[in-house]
Amino acid sequence: MNATYYTRTHEYVRLEGETGTIGITDFAQTQLGDVVFVELPPIGATLTKGAEAATVESVKAAAEVNAPVSGEVMAVNSELTQSPSLVNEDPLGRGWFWQLRIFDVSELDTLLDEEAYQEFLKTVS
């Protein structure tokens, strides 16, 4: 089952089996402006849904990135250390933040699918 889910705080999780790839949405990167620094969670860390997991800094602001689901960090996008602008250039692709093994896939039920997220954006933009 491959699908992408979104939070109301503009994180996404792309599900591939029991692995989730997490990043921020195009809307979020646009609001932040030019990203200059990303602090990622350590590999092996256990993240709790809704808790702060990473930090992204731009020329305009710093923002926390919350874990959209609970799980164990299996990989981080080390490319962001050298090229944080990937978040702006390709937020849903090469600009991903971390991957995790999802503990409970039922947590995805509380997130938005693509259509619901697009409707949600109409209320905030």
Looking at residue 65, what is its pLDDT?
A: 97
Residue 1 has pLDDT above 70, yes or no: no
Q: Break the chain into its structural domains and give their ranges.
A: 2-107
Range 94-105 average pLDDT: 96
Range 10-31 average pLDDT: 95
CATH no. for 2-107:
2.40.50.100
Looking at residue 125, what is its pLDDT?
A: 64
Looking at residue 41, what is its pLDDT?
A: 97
CB 66, CB 98: distance < 8 Å: no
3-class DSSP state of 57:
strand
* Residue 6 structure tokens: 């979104």
- Strand order of the β-sheet with 35-39 is 35-39, 52-58, 62-66
Q: 71: which residues sit within 8 A by CB, 6+ positions away?
A: 20, 46, 47, 100, 101, 102, 103
CB 105, CB 5: distance < 8 Å: no
pLDDT digits (tens, 9 = 90+) for 32-44: 999 999 999 999 9
Looking at residue 22, what is its pLDDT?
A: 98
Range 4-12 average pLDDT: 97
- pTM for the model stands at 0.94
Burial 5-27 (b: 16+ CB within 10 A, else e): bbbeebbbbbbeeeebbbbbbbb
Looking at residue 6, what is its pLDDT?
A: 97
